[in-house]
Amino acid sequence: MQKIVIHKPGGYDRLQLEIHPEPQPGPGQVLVRIYAAGVNYADVAIRWGLYDSAKEYVGWPITPGFEYGGVVLEVGEGVTAFAPGQRVFGVNLFGAYSTHLCVPEHLLWPLPSQFSLEQAAGFPAVFMTAYHGLHQLFVLRPGSHLLIHSAAGGVGTALLQLGKIAGCKMTGVVGSTHKVETAKQFGADFVIDKSRQDLWKEAEKIAPEGFDAVFDANGVSTLKQSFLHLRPTGKLITYGFHSMLPKKGGRLNWPKLVWNFLKTPRFSPLNMSNKSIISFNLSFLFAEKDLLQQAMDDMLRWIDEGRILAPQVTTFPLEKVAEAHKFIESGQSTGKLILVNQD
């Protein structure tokens, strides 16, 4: 089997394609032949050595990749929900940048008929992030007005769709004009183009009393203003700090990283404004079977009802993984980036 292995943190050259023995499923596991694997910004943070759950659960060396689409090759003892030859998709605590992967049965689901393997590989990480942020962290009320940063990206388009299903008013923020139509296509009622408009002046026009929730994976560049533009009882949901991670040529600029850390706003519990800040890392939730199953049951039903669109995907061969990392770091991508291995 082939897989991408990172032996120590660094730039694109750390992404090494290697040959390894094919794994065998243990009790409760399923061996999947992976044909497509999602690329997430978290994978870049893993390559830099900055991702907490990667350090806690695996260490070095590590094969990145949270999500995949493929075909069942073999099932371990006690597995009853899957059989060889079945097309599936799922999540895992890393390892999906590979041609073969053994995964726990509870992290695997049958492939929706509406999705290709590539589309399914770009679905679970971003949609579970969106679902957990919307439905499992606070009480979401119909009519709530939500602001979504990076609205044309994977999590952003998932949030737009799930927010519309919940009956919310959606404002999306994008960083380039070519992303405006993508945000509208996936459900944004209003779109703010930061490359041409003053973000916070436009936000105040759209929601003069503030937003019920703001979803922000930018970090230092927007975190303070996101909090200030909440209405009373509003929630700031954070699930990343992209703007805190300056880089050039795939490597971190450590002085700027430290400077951005020092500039990151601190929030005092003494400020009782009825506003809340909630942060989470989806990978730490993979052991929470009830939360994962609740999310996937709802979302698979919405897929069947035609209420969730298949992700827009851009594909790269597995051996071109460095190109995929460069593209997602550039901030110019929309939808999901997918590594494919059809051989």
Quick: pLDDT tens for 95-132.
Answer: 999 999 999 999 999 999 999 999 999 999 999 999 99
Contact 325, 46 (CB under 8 A): no
Q: Which of 4-13, 111-120, 210-219, 234-243 has the lowest mean pLDDT?
A: 234-243
- Please state whether beta strands 2-5 and 276-279 pair in parallel, antiparallel, or not at all (unpaired): unpaired
pLDDT band of residue 330 (cuts 50, 70, 90) is confident
Residue ranges making up the domain that contains 216: 138-279
- Give the residue carrying structure tokens 């052991």: 287
My answer on whether 91 and 115 are in the same domain is yes
Residue where a domain terminates, one of 279, 301, 316: 279
My answer on whether 166 and 293 are in the same domain is no
Question: What pLDDT, in 10s, does the model give residues 151-203?
Answer: 998 899 999 999 999 999 999 999 999 999 999 999 999 999 999 999 999 99
My answer on whether 274 and 152 are in the same domain is yes
- Assess if residue 157 is contained within a domain: yes
Single out the residue of 33, 49, 41 nearest to residue 126, CA to CA: 41
* Spatial distance between the Cα atoms of 65 and 62, rounded to a whole number of angstroms: 10
Is residue 286 scored above 90 in pLDDT? no
Is residue 244 scored above 70 in pLDDT? no
My answer on whether 218 and 173 are in the same domain is yes
54: which 2 tokens?
A: 């990667």
My answer on whether 147 and 272 are in the same domain is yes
Single out the residue of 5, 21, 1 nearest to residue 13, CA to CA: 5
Domain count for the chain: 2
Residue where a domain terminates, one of 227, 258, 279: 279
* Spatial distance between the Cα atoms of 147 and 172, rounded to a whole number of angstroms: 6
Looking at the DSSP bridge assignments, the partners of residue 339 are 37, 316
Single out the residue of 235, 240, 216, 231 nearest to residue 138, CA to CA: 235
My answer on whether 42 and 22 are in the same domain is yes
* Spatial distance between the Cα atoms of 238 and 217, rounded to a whole number of angstroms: 6
- Assess if residue 111 is contained within a domain: yes
Residues sharing a CB contact under 8 Å with residue 303, sequence separation 6 or more, in sequence order: 112, 114, 115
Q: What is the CATH number of the domain that holds 251?
A: 3.40.50.720
My answer on whether 45 and 152 are in the same domain is no
Q: Which of 48-57, 60-69, 235-244 has the lowest mean pLDDT?
A: 235-244
Q: What is the pLDDT of residue 159?
A: 97
Residue where a domain terminates, one of 279, 295, 325: 279
Single out the residue of 276, 278, 216, 211 nearest to residue 243, CA to CA: 216
Is residue 306 scored above 90 in pLDDT? yes
What count of Cα atoms within 13 Å lies in the side-chain half-sphere of residue 132?
A: 25
Side chain identity, residue 16: Q
281: which 2 tokens?
A: 């890392």
My answer on whether 269 and 146 are in the same domain is yes
Q: What is the mean pLDDT of residues 302-316?
A: 94
Q: What is the pLDDT of residue 62?
A: 98
My answer on whether 193 and 274 are in the same domain is yes
pLDDT band of residue 247 (cuts 50, 70, 90) is low
Looking at the DSSP bridge assignments, the partners of residue 30 are 75, 103
My answer on whether 142 and 157 are in the same domain is yes
Q: Is the pTM of this model over 0.85?
A: yes
Residue 206: burial class (beta carbons within 10 Å; 0-12, 13-18, 19+): middle
Q: What is the pLDDT of residue 246?
A: 62
Q: What is the mean pLDDT of residues 307-333?
A: 92
- Assess if residue 131 is contained within a domain: no
- Assess if residue 263 is contained within a domain: yes
- Assess if residue 166 is contained within a domain: yes
Residues sharing a CB contact under 8 Å with residue 316, sequence separation 6 or more, in sequence order: 39, 323, 324, 327, 337, 338, 339, 340
Average pLDDT, the chain: 93
Single out the residue of 226, 224, 43, 240 nearest to residue 148, CA to CA: 226
Single out the residue of 313, 231, 236 nearest to residue 280, CA to CA: 236
* Spatial distance between the Cα atoms of 199 and 177, rounded to a whole number of angstroms: 13
Q: Determine the straight-line distance between the first and last CA of the chain, rounded to whole angstroms.
A: 11
Is residue 332 scored above 90 in pLDDT? no
Contact 336, 153 (CB under 8 A): no
My answer on whether 151 and 110 are in the same domain is no
Looking at the DSSP bridge assignments, the partners of residue 172 are 148, 191
- The rounded Cα 288 to chain-centroid distance in angstroms is 17
My answer on whether 203 and 247 are in the same domain is yes
Contact 257, 244 (CB under 8 A): yes
The percent of residues in the chain predicted with pLDDT above 70, rounded, is: 96
294: which 2 tokens?
A: 């609740």
Higher pLDDT, 333 or 204: 204
Q: Which of 34-48, 104-118, 235-249 has the lowest mean pLDDT?
A: 235-249
Contact 248, 324 (CB under 8 A): no
- Assess if residue 82 is contained within a domain: yes
The secondary structure of 55-109 as a DSSP string is: HHHT-SSB---SEEEEEEEEE-TT--S--TT-EEEEE-SS--SBSEEEEEGGGEE
